[in-house]
Structure 1
Amino acid sequence: MSPPIATPRSRALGFGLRKARQARGLGLRELARGADVRPGDLSNWELGLRVPKVEEVALLLGRLQVSVEERTRLLELAENAREPNWLERDMPDAPPILTTLAEYERTAASIFSWQPMLVHGLLQTADYAEAILAHGGAPPALVEQRLRVRMIRQAALRERGAPECSILLGEIALRQRVGGLEILLEQLRHLLDLPPRLAVRVIPFGGDFHPGLNGSFSVFEYSDLPAIVFLDQHRGSAYIYDEDQVADYKAAARTVSSLAMDSAESREFIEGVIAELEA
């Protein structure tokens, strides 16, 4: 069984419950004992990994003595936390890990991402993305489904009010011939035609060690929730919610950002790679 995923709605509910508990100066076990719930259940609720029933939330709020306004807000979250998000309604057969990622991206205030080896999924052309998704003989229906999700994710970040994105690419990502030379050239030209909200900067190959050499990662910042980190790997992906670990990744993001060329220099660098490949 796949591990539970904290959706944006369940996470907002859990964060509200945790803030209310901390405002009363209660420990997690103390509140769990007073509300007659298991500490493990309460912990999962606060993390957003599980969604409590409305009556369970009402019981907790009664113990925490929150304001009428906050009680109403959290009960509404509890009632709606299990409802499908915008992408789940359009694609009910899409994997939860992808629909949740799309919702995290769409609701973020800002996104930072470091991709050393491949062009970021939010920047990929359809042909480039298909070359990656179809690798290894994946069933055509699965490739089509995941490609559609990827294109919908991109479209959402072009809408009014979408988050600002700072995406750093390693030089190798610009030279790796995913799908062949023509597909790569099309992809590189696409990077030169992105809206200002999607800021792309390049880190040239070489230099000393930096934390980005350990692999790709993304940091999602929110206006009313703590930041989270997303790790996307070959056989799976994971979210990091722990505040200390997220702080470490945010520090790594600052270090990696300090090594990247600015937007104008990055554009010139990409144009130079295109010229080399076309020669």
Structure 2
Amino acid sequence: MELSARRQPPTVRLRRLAAELRRLRTEADLTREEVSEQTSINPATLYRIETARVRPQRRTLMAMLDTYGITDEDQRSELIALSQQATQLGWLQTYESELPELYTTYISFETEARSVHNYESLFVPGLLQTQDYARAVIKAGLPLATEEDIHARIEARIRRQESLRKKDPIRLWTIVDEAVLHRQVGSTKVTAEQLEVLAEAATQPHITLQVIPFDSGAHAGMPGSFVIMDFPNPADPALVYIDSMAGDLFLEHEADVRRFTTTFEHLQATALDPTSSIKAIEAQIHKIKEKGGAG
């Protein structure tokens, strides 16, 4: 039995389907090898289905449910519907062929998240970046990228921000190191405008922003940036995302999520409170304008 021919980046629904199929196989007391013997589905294919790498075709899914003894029609219909919805990418589908697979995977998760907790040590979080700031960050970070690649990434980054403006917006809690406020990205005008947008965003009821001042010394976030995403459906466990020079990494084991959640809590305690953080941003904007660089 074959999988859906088109490879799609994992989505929240595909991840939920994979978890449910793992659970059903475990409850049926079957190994992947035993399921393979009974269904003729390759064990490697079963592994990819159970780890949300691919979506099973309908006949593959039906064979798995038959083997697991799932006869309840409502349950079968629910899983079939979940499978059909698993590859719905919305606006992201426009950029699917232009963006790296792991980046589209991240965006698909972020789009459906209930809350995002983001720590950044070097630059303004993507959800709060202006277009000019984003261009400067992307061009510097990808020196070999074509203008088309840069344009696609900028557009995708700006489209991501719609999650903050929808009727039921993502709840964003972001913590940045003070270095983010002082680093010039693009021109001084671009940097000042970005900080003004950051200060304004921090006043929104669904956005919390904190700054870790230099005088706080060493802190728990110094090893690097990370994102923790929570989802509305209890069946979708929290997820940690790390973007580094070594590549993108997703962590979903409970121990890993707990470790990064604890780290974020330490950063919350170390950082300035939200009101003081806005004042720190405004003070830096004033310094830039005093030097005449924002004109």
Q: Is the 8 A contact 1:111 1:219 kept in 2?
A: yes
1:141-156 aligned at under 5 Å gives the runs: 141-156=148-163
1:258-273 aligned at under 5 Å gives the runs: 258-273=269-284
**Range with bigger deviation, 14-23 or 107-116:** 14-23
**Structure 1 residues 138 and 40: CA distance shift in structure 2, 3 A:** closer
Structure 2 residue aligned with 1:257: 268
1:242-253 aligned at under 5 Å gives the runs: 242-253=253-264
**d(CA) in 2 for partners of 1:273, 1:223:** 37
TM-score, structure 2 length as denominator?
A: 0.84
**Range with bigger deviation, 122-131 or 62-71:** 62-71
Amino acid at match of 1:133: I
Deviations 1:158-195 (A, max 9, x none): 11112211111110011100112211111111111113
Q: Is the 8 A contact 1:88 1:94 kept in 2?
A: no
**Structure 1 residues 23 and 210: CA distance shift in structure 2, 3 A:** farther
**Structure 1 residues 30 and 166: CA distance shift in structure 2, 3 A:** farther
**Range with bigger deviation, 213-222 or 84-93:** 84-93
Structure 1 residue aligned with 2:84: 79
**Structure 1 residues 29 and 199: CA distance shift in structure 2, 3 A:** farther
Which of 232, 247, 252 pairs up with 1:241? Answer: 252
Gaps of 5+ in 1: none
1:185-196 aligned at under 5 Å gives the runs: 185-194=192-201, 195-196=204-205
**Structure 1 residues 161 and 29: CA distance shift in structure 2, 3 A:** farther
**d(CA) in 1 for partners of 2:35, 2:262:** 34
**d(CA) in 2 for partners of 1:235, 1:5:** 20
**Structure 1 residues 255 and 5: CA distance shift in structure 2, 3 A:** farther
Q: Percent identity?
A: 26
**d(CA) in 1 for partners of 2:54, 2:77:** 20
**d(CA) in 2 for partners of 1:42, 1:155:** 36
CA shift, 1:26, in A, is: 4.8
Q: In the alignment, is residue 46 of structure 1 matched against residue 46 of structure 2?
A: no
CA shift, 1:57, in A, is: 1.3
**d(CA) in 1 for partners of 2:8, 2:249:** 10
**Structure 1 residues 199 and 246: CA distance shift in structure 2, 3 A:** same
1:54-203 aligned at under 5 Å gives the runs: 54-66=58-70, 67-82=72-87, 84-95=88-99, 96-135=101-140, 136=143, 138-194=145-201, 195-203=204-212
**d(CA) in 2 for partners of 1:121, 1:8:** 20
Structure 1 residue aligned with 2:225: 216
**d(CA) in 2 for partners of 1:30, 1:137:** 48
User: How many residue pairs get matched?
Assistant: 276
Gaps of 5+ in 2: 1-6, 291-295
CA shift, 1:137, in A, is: 5.6
Structure 2 residue aligned with 1:277: 288
**Structure 1 residues 172 and 208: CA distance shift in structure 2, 3 A:** closer
Amino acid at match of 2:244: Q
Structure 1 residue aligned with 2:3: none
**Range with bigger deviation, 246-255 or 111-120:** 246-255
Q: Is the 8 A contact 2:121 2:176 kept in 1?
A: yes
**d(CA) in 2 for partners of 1:150, 1:94:** 13
**Structure 1 residues 127 and 69: CA distance shift in structure 2, 3 A:** same
